[in-house]
Amino acid sequence: MSSDAPLLQISGLDVRYGRRHALRDVSLRVSPGETVGVIGETGSGKSTLARAVLGLVPASAGQILVDGEDVTRYTKRQWRALRRRGVIQYVFQDPLRSLDPELTISDSLIEPLLVQGVARGDAVDRARLMLARVQLDDELLGRLPSGLSGGQRQRVAVARALVTDPAVIILDEPVSALDAANRVQILEILKDLRAAGVALIFISHDLGSVAGVADRIAVIYQGELVEDGPTHRVITAPEHVYTRLLVSSAPMLRAATVDRAERQALRELLHA
């Protein structure tokens, strides 16, 4: 396939939990090397989108293509095989969900490579390389996740996502649980990854965190994708009323003072 073909193409995706419609007709494409920020308030369906793309919840309608392969109707076994190939990786908000608490950092990092048949010595070399890439000392390799700080754990989770050289990494609120210093460090690492050509889907409720990293921003509101455009355009000329409210609530982004009256007017429009 040509190099500008999308790595991830979601078309008309619907996801239901029983009778609850969590996502409705969502379409999104991510090209090689692109960072797409997915923004939305709590309960809007952001994590459901991540779960659907990782095969953790089934699509009730629509289509998901990963690197040109239609994975929409994959069986559990096919998903396992796809994950094993390491094409698509993930980092969750809580690093303890991305890391096995009983595995040392070294084992966590080399496990995906051993599964792929990489020789142990080569896997350990690569694990050290990835740890350096997230600015961690390799003296941490022998520790368990419980022996690391929250910020260090999240960097290990990013390193683990990187070891298989994935085409796409989905990051679901990767900095929300971190303090300001660790948040900045992770965001800097994500910028480096983007510069290295890894496609990233960066899910967050915080427009400010995403705006500095993403090439494009997609906005989900009540299970629907209501806006999708280049970051600069979305911030300077938001089209949907919910995006306008988000932007006006983040005054640092537009270097303007908060206009309370405008925010109130937008809220009224949104809930009208």
Ligand X SMILES: Nc1ncnc2c1ncn2[C@@H]1O[C@H](COP(=O)(O)OP(=O)(O)OP(=O)(O)O)[C@@H](O)[C@H]1O
Candidate ranges 37-45, 72-80, 111-119, 130-138; the one touching ligand X (CB under 6 A): 37-45
* Total interface residues for ligand X by CB under 6 A: 12
Residue 40 touching ligand X (CB under 6 A)? yes
Q: Are 177 and 93 in contact (CB under 8 A)?
A: yes
> Which residue's CB is nearer to ligand X, number 10 or number 131?
10
In whole angstroms, what is the distance from residue 156 CA to residue 136 CA?
8
Figure out which of the listed residues 3, 4, 19, 42 binds ligand X, where binding follows CB under 6 A.
42
Residue 43 touching ligand X (CB under 6 A)? yes
Q: Are 106 and 141 in contact (CB under 8 A)?
A: yes
Around 115, how many Cα atoms within 13 Å sit in the side-chain half-sphere? 15
Q: How far is the CB of 37 from ligand X (least distance, A)?
A: 13
Residue 20 touching ligand X (CB under 6 A)? yes
* List of residues 6+ apart from 43 with CB closer than 8 A: none
> Which residue's CB is nearer to ligand X, number 10 or number 134?
10
In whole angstroms, what is the distance from residue 120 CA to residue 245 CA?
51
Residue 3 touching ligand X (CB under 6 A)? no
Query: Binders of ligand X among 201-220, rule CB under 6 A?
Result: 205
H/E stretch holding 11 reads strand 8-17
Task: Note the residues at the interface with ligand X (CB under 6 A).
Answer: 17, 20, 22, 40, 42-48, 205
